[in-house]
């Protein structure tokens, strides 16, 4: 109902519309309209009222609300259903719960704040209220389970495309972190439920540091984390940036469904700051350490590292990658 009222106010532009007319169009009472408008004001909408004229929408908040995100989104799959939370433990946990209950493909779960957000290797992800974009997308693709890890690279490319739209030069560290000046901007975690021959669902969780100032990061990550506003030198409109990410992801996912991952991997290479670099490879399970040059990624999205002993194939879940010296 609230989104329908918002749509009527948007369509009226700068013209007042009476509560009675909105009530008639929506089939509810004027009191119900008034209550919804009161709630919308509490969310940050600047809705002006006049005793004889009615209501007019003056300004919308830069808040992660379904009505704002969905407005003029124009995607085919991703974002057709948007579920927003003020606070949640983890958007990935909630998306997995919804996926198990049959939530539609393309459902987006987004929160203003996460209390238990995690990235790869169970690392905690700092997710402060109103400062970033913390979201998860549910996919139900037709491709085989072994293709799923490449969805992480697809998501990284989607954020990189959005950054480019806002005049920011993206750089992807294999496989999925976006960095600026060797500091982390974005983290991505892909999780899957599958059988031997098919995928039940994939959940892609993405955390984007948008308007966090350096002093707002906890001391233990202040030297390794950064944000889009620090990169640009001014705050970014979170809703518009989020829409750009969702549109890019929707476009890439349609491309993957039609052509496979080859075009996505090629675009990933364009944004990569890992390829061509001397790297230190650290085994997550066995602690093995070796050095080499990051030569390419293969058709599976695995990193190919040229060492003195020959070329090695590196899988994302098995290792941690560091620059051998200096910065990416």
Residue 184 annotated as part of some ligand binding site: yes
Q: Taking residues 192-199, what's their average pLDDT?
A: 92
Residue 328 lies in a domain: no
**pLDDT: is 323 or 60 the higher one?**
60
91 marked among binding-site residues: yes
86 and 209 together in one domain = yes
% residues pLDDT > 90 (the chain): 74
Poorest-confidence range of 40-49, 70-79, 143-152, 222-231?
Answer: 40-49
- pLDDT tier for residue 196 given thresholds of 50, 70 and 90: confident
Domain count, the chain: 3
Please tell me whether 80 is known to bind a ligand.
no
15 and 156 fall within a common domain:
no
28 domain residue, yes or no:
yes
The answer on 77 and 119 residing in a single domain is yes
Q: What is the CATH number of the domain that holds 185?
A: 3.30.930.10
pLDDT at 15 over 60: yes
90 is in an annotated binding site: yes
Question: Domain limits at 45?
Answer: 1-59
pTM: 0.86
Can you give the three-state secondary structure of the chain, one letter per residue? CHHHHHHHHHHHCCCCECHHHHHHHHCCCHHHHHHHHHHHHHHCCEEEEECCCEEEEEECCCCCCHHHHHCCCCCCCCCCCEEEECCECCHHHHHHHHHHCCCCCCCEEEECCECCCECHHHCECCCCCCCEEEEEEEECCCCCHHHCCHHHHHHHHHHHHHHHHCCCCCCEECCCEEEECCEEEEEEEEEEEEECCEEEEEEEEEEEECCCCHHHCCCCCCCCECCHHHHHCCCCCHHHHHHHHHHHHHHHHHHHHHHCCHHHHHHHHHHECCCCCEEEEEECCCCCEEEEEEEEECCCCCEEEEECCEEEEECCCCEEEEECCCCC
| Residue 174 in this model has a pLDDT that exceeds 50 | yes
Mean pLDDT, the chain, whole residue set: 91
Give yes or no: residues 113 and 251 share one domain: yes
| More confident position, 290 or 206 | 206
In a domain, 128, yes or no: yes
**What is the structure's pLDDT at 111?**
97
Question: What pLDDT sits at residue 328?
Answer: 57
Residue 121 has pLDDT above 90, yes or no: no
Same domain, 18 and 97: no
Q: State yes or no: 124 annotated in a binding site.
A: no
pLDDT tens, position by position, 221-266:
999 999 999 999 999 999 999 999 999 999 999 999 999 999 999 9
Q: Does 314 lie in the same domain as 245?
A: no
Lowest mean pLDDT among 83-97, 113-127, 130-144: 113-127
Same domain, 205 and 300: no
Over residues 35-63, the pLDDT tens digits come to 999 988 988 888 998 888 899 988 888 89
């Amino acid at each position: 109902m609230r989104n329908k009222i918002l749509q009527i106010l948007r369509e009226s532009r700068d013209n007042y519309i009476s509560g009675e007319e909105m009530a008639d169009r929506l089939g509810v009472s004027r009191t119900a309209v008034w209550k919804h408008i009161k709630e919308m004001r509490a969310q940050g909408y600047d809705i002006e009222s006049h005793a004889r004229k009615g209501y007019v929408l003056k300004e919308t908040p830069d808040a992660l609300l379904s009505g704002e995100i969905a407005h003029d989104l124009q995607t085919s799959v991703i974002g057709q259903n948007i579920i927003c939370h003020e606070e949640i433990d983890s958007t990935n946990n909630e998306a997995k719960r919804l996926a198990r209950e049959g939530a539609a493909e393309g459902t987006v779960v987004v929160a203003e704040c996460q209390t238990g957000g995690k990235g790869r290797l169970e690392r905690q992800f700092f997710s402060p209220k109103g400062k970033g974009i913390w979201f998860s997308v549910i996919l139900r693709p037709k491709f085989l389970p072994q293709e799923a890890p490449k969805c992480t690279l697809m998501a990284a490319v989607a954020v990189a495309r959005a950054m480019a739209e806002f005049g920011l030069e993206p750089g992807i560290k294999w496989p999925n972190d976006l960095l600026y000046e060797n500091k982390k901007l974005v983290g991505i975690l892909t999780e899957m439920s599958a059988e031997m021959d098919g995928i039940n669902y994939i959940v892609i969780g993405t955390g984007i540091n948008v308007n966090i100032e350096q002093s707002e990061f906890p001391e233990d990550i202040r030297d390794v984390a950064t944000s889009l506003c620090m990169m640009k030198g001014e705050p970014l409109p979170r809703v518009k940036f989020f829409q750009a990410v969702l549109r890019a992801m929707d476009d890439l996912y349609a491309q993957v469904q039609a052509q496979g991952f080859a075009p996505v991997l090629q675009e990933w290479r364009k944004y990569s700051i890992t390829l061509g670099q001397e790297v230190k490879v650290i085994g997550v399970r066995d602690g093995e350490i070796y050095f080499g040059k990051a030569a390419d990624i293969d058709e599976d999205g695995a990193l190919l590292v040229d060492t003195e002993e020959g070329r090695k194939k590196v899988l994302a879940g098995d290792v941690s990658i560091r620059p051998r010296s200096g910065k990416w």
